[in-house]
Structures are given as C-alpha cells and as structure tokens.
C-alpha cells in the first residue's frame, strides 16, 4: 500500500503546466488553514497537510487540507485512487524518490519539490517526514507535514515537525493534539468530538524500579490493548510521562465518550505480565467535549485536565466529565506538576 501510494507512477506531469510568479495560486484563507503558534516562520503562513502511514495496519490517513493544496479529495489518496508521486514534477521526481527511500530506512527528512495540482498549476511544497521505530528499530510508521511555500528559498524549520512527537513512544504530543483539534475544527466545525485524558497510576514509580527498557515494554503492552479496541494509533497522544490523550473526532452523542472510557478501563486494568511478575495500573479518565466545553484545542485540553484532576483513582468516580462550576485553579496546579 505505501509503495503504491508514494511510488506508483502511471502518468507523468507534463512541462505544459500553468505557472505564476509565486509558484502557484494563493490558497484560500478558508478550509484546512492552520494558524498555530508552534508552526513558526514560514509554516505559520501556509496551508498544512498532515499525513500518516502505519506499516503495521496498512492504514493511510491525511487531512482534508490536501484538497485545498491539490484539488483532489483526501479519500482519493487514502484508497489508492490517486497517487502522490503522480503529482510530483517530473524533474523533481528522482530527488523525491531518494528522500522517500531514506525515510523508509528511518531517517528524518526535510525537503522541497514541485507538484502539479488538478488544474495543472505548479506549486512549490515543503515536506517534513518523521519515521517512528519499534523496539527492534524497524520503521513502523511515517508521519509527515506538507505545506505550500511561496518562496522556496526560505526553508522552514524541521523542528516544527519533530517537536510534535514524544520521542519514547512515537505518539503525538500536546502540540500535535492541539494542531489536530485545530484542523478538525476547520474541517467540520459543526460536528461533535471529545478529548479524553487518561492517567496510569503508579506507572512512573514502577518504571523507576524496572528501568527505561522495561517501561517501554509496559507502555507497548498497554497501548496495544487500545489498538485491540480498534483505536487508531494516530488518535493517541502522550502529554507527559503518565498522562495520555485520546482524540475522538466524531461522536454521535454526549455519552459516547463515557462508553469508550469504560471500555478503556476494562482493557487497561487487566494485569500486565512482565519479567515473571504481573503489574496492575489503575486508570482514571477526564473528558471534555466540543462544543459544550470549549471552542479551541488548548481550552478543550485544559478542561479535560481539570476533569482528570477531579477523577478518583479507584471506584465509580474514575471517569469525570468537565463540569463548568469547577475552577481552573486546581487544574493549573495540576499542570505545574507535569514535565
């Protein structure tokens, strides 16, 4: 699937394409236009397409901003109907293919090249690719950002991509979650969604005793249980050493997040076997919902934090929805304890 998505080339971009002074038509100010404080410099002024490919599941996902950039639907690329390399300008294709091979071998990539959109207009784009490895140092996922650039002589900062991930697990971090929410709000501002933050009790203290390598094994077992629930890996985030996030981009009703949280607790609290021992990790979950609890990513995450801080470690009160009467004072002190 990945080879086909990136490498199949049934048609070539002709040199008979329309050009303009800045390498392409200006993009609309609507659509998937992410203005985010962590996209510094050049990226702060461009449309950003977020994409991810999971080698394990064969799942390809990309944000709907790809339609603004290329004129083709995201589903065309996700189903293999449309191939990204077919858009790459023929003269730039050899360099593009070489960089893609390096990414598949585990190398972080930052490069620029030209594509031709559906109308034949040439656009300069800048791409950042971050491979994610398993414990055997094999590439299991590629995450990337593609942005149109008005001036290809002014490169972006690769740190804008690489700072969006937790280096230990490869999960997106708080910045990535905020960016994903911003993209979701612009794609479908009228659809309900939810942010769940969950915390593993005693994980940090057990990890300190067992060491970093065993901590990673424990986390892998726990996160694999969520994937067994059909939760996509790219919907999971790590906000600090013991707190993780789950983004539910489409919910049918306000109670759906609670049902998901109950299933998570049932799966995550089963004993974890490791090194001839079994470990138990009590879980508590805080939930915020859009549009009830906020209208921006940072606000929704903060309120899920407050709900998490009010959740109990054991019993029926382990799942808490954000409640407006709660003040942020306790939540703010909770944030200060985070790394």
Q: Which domains does the chain have, with CATH numbers?
A: 2-162 (3.30.450.20), 183-336 (3.30.70.270)
pLDDT of residue 163: 67
Higher-confidence residue of 38 and 221: namely: 221
Query: Which phi and psi (to 5°) does residue 45 adopt?
Result: -115, 10
State how far the Cα of 303 lies from the Cα of 184, in Å rounded to an integer.
18
Q: Which of 56-60, 75-79, 105-109, 211-215 has the lowest mean pLDDT?
A: 211-215
State how far the Cα of 40 lies from the Cα of 53, in Å rounded to an integer.
25
Q: What is the mean pLDDT of residues 124-128?
A: 89
For the whole model, what pTM was predicted?
Answer: 0.58
Q: How confident is the model at residue 258 (pLDDT cuts 50, 70, 90)?
A: very high
Average pLDDT across the chain, whole number: 77
pLDDT of residue 8: 40
Torsion of CA 8, 10, 16, 20, to 10 degrees: -30
Residues 6 or more apart whose CB falls under 8 angstroms from that of 339 comprise 240, 241
- Could you tell me where the beta strands, DSSP code E, fall in the chain? 48-54, 59-62, 109-116, 122-133, 139-148, 193-200, 236-238, 243-248, 272-274, 277-279, 283-290, 319-321
| 37 and 166 Cβ atoms separated by less than 8 Å | no
Higher-confidence residue of 318 and 46: namely: 318
Largest separation between any pair of C-alpha atoms in the chain: 67
């Amino acid at each position: 699937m990945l080879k086909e998505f990136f490498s199949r080339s049934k048609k070539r971009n002709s040199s008979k394409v329309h050009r303009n002074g800045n390498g392409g038509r200006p993009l609309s100010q609507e659509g998937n236009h992410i203005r985010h404080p962590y996209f510094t410099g050049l990226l702060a002024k461009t449309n950003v397409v977020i994409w991810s490919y999971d080698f394990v599941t064969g799942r390809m996902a990309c944000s709907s901003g790809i339609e603004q950039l290329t004129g083709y639907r995201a589903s065309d690329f996700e189903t293999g109907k449309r191939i990204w390399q077919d858009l790459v300008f023929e003269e730039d294709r050899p360099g593009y293919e070489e960089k893609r091979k390096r990414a598949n071998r585990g190398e972080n990539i930052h490069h620029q090249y030209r594509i031709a959109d559906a109308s034949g207009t040439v656009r300069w784009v800048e791409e950042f690719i971050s491979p994610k490895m398993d414990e055997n140092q094999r590439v299991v996922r590629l995450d990337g950002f593609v942005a149109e650039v008005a001036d290809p002589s002014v490169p972006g900062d690769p740190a804008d991509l690489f700072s969006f991930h937790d280096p230990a697990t490869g999960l997106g971090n708080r910045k990535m979650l905020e960016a994903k929410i911003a993209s979701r709000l612009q794609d479908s501002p009228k659809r309900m969604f939810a942010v769940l933050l969950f915390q593993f009790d005693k994980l940090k203290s057990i990890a300190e005793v067992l060491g970093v390598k065993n901590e990673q094994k424990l986390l892998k077992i726990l996160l694999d249980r969520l994937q067994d629930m059909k939760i996509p890996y790219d919907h999971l985030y790590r906000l600090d050493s013991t707190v993780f996030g789950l983004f539910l981009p489409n919910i049918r009703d306000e109670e759906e997040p609670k049902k998901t949280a109950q299933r998570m607790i049932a799966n995550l609290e089963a004993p974890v076997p490791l090194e001839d021992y079994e470990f138990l990790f009590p879980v508590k979950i805080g939930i915020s919902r859009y549009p009830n609890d906020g209208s921006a990513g940072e606000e929704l995450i903060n309120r899920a934090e407050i709900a998490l801080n009010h959740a109990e470690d054991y019993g029926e009160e382990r799942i808490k929805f954000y409640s407006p009467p709660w003040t942020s004072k306790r939540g703010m002190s909770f944030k200060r304890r985070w790394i």
